Amino acid sequence: MVIKETKSKIQVTKLNIWYEKTHAVKDVSFEVYEREILGVIGPSNSGKTSFLKTLNRLNELYPGFKMDGEILFDGQDWRSINIQLLRKRVGIVFALPLPLPLSVYDNIAYGPRLHGIKKRERLDQIVKESLTAAAIWDEVKDRLQKSAFKLSGGQQQRLCIARTLAVNPEVILYDEPCSGLDPISTHKVEDAMRQLKNRYTQILVTNNVKQAARVSDRTAFFLMGELVELAETKQLFTAPQDKRTEDYITGRFG
């Protein structure tokens, strides 16, 4: 895949993360470009999710969390951004779909209402646009007032993506978004990611190296908290520069 956008969206410099005495991420530095899909692969306990959750400061909820280093969003220190605004700008989709116990419509409208949008006409527009962007509108347009729990697992995950889009983020983080989905649902979620590339920067943490190969523009390989290698996806999967990367993607370990 060719990366057309090379403007830096996120800059990470010498990032270290600890939980009590466990050093989870070690001196990691790299950039994330605007409107790219960055895949992040590596075995369990390699620091992938710790890195991801630090980007919207979810890690600060964990006891014993400590970090140093620098993270910039559009050149601005991410610690200087109001935390609620930061989480609006940087949305996250988790491994398990987590719809709210509300209707499909109200799941999408919930965030915009929290941010002060009350007019029904505008909410209707946001709901349709968000569900369309997440490639699920045609499947749910006649079920908007039904419980979100009545959707399939794959539909619920795309609903969660739509709910993230409804507050107009700039970056979307995915933490193993397809780990509990069947191949058909996984394909639909991946299609939604591709369609979102024109508007959003996306970071995909996945244990499925084939998924990273299918959807990512560039891929980063983490191992034991270190960033071993970061390259355009085709290069990383066909001609990795580090033997540890080659061993992982060919299944020799991990």
**C-beta atoms surrounding 251 within 10 Å:** 8
- Look at residues 35, 57, 39, 60 and name the one whose alpha carbon lies nearest to residue 48: 39
Of residues 201, 219, 198, the one with CA closest to residue 89: 201
Q: For domain 8-249, say whether CATH 3.90.25.10 is its number.
A: no
pLDDT of residue 103: 97
Q: Residue 89 — very low, low, confident or very high, per pLDDT cuts 50/70/90?
A: very high
Q: How many whole angstroms separate alpha carbon 131 and alpha carbon 127?
A: 6
pLDDT (tens digit, 9 = 90+) per residue, 3-33?
Answer: 454 789 999 999 999 999 999 999 999 999 9
93-115: average pLDDT: 93
- The answer to whether the CB of 16 falls within 8 A of the CB of 50 is no
What mean pLDDT is reported for the chain? 92
Q: Is 166 helix (H, G, I), strand (E, B) or coil?
A: coil
**pTM, 2 dp:** 0.91
The answer to whether the Cα torsion of 171, 232, 179, 184 is positive or negative is positive
253 pLDDT tier (thresholds 50, 70, 90): low
Please answer whether residues 127 and 116 qualify as being in contact, where contact means their C-beta atoms are separated by less than 8 angstroms: no
Q: Which tens digit of pLDDT belongs to each residue from 109-123?
A: 999 998 899 999 999
% of the chain residues with pLDDT over 90: 81
Position 5 scores a pLDDT of 47
Tell whether the model's pLDDT for residue 224 goes beyond 90: yes
pLDDT for residue 1: 45
Q: Could you tell me the residue ranges of all domains in the chain? A: 8-249
Do residues 71 and 55 lie in contact, with contact meaning Cβ atoms separated by under 8 Å? Answer: yes
Q: Band of the pLDDT at 2, cuts 50, 70, 90?
A: very low
Of the candidates 239, 245, 210, 209, the one whose C-alpha atom is nearest the C-alpha of residue 227 is 245
β-pairing, 65-73 with 37-41?
Answer: unpaired
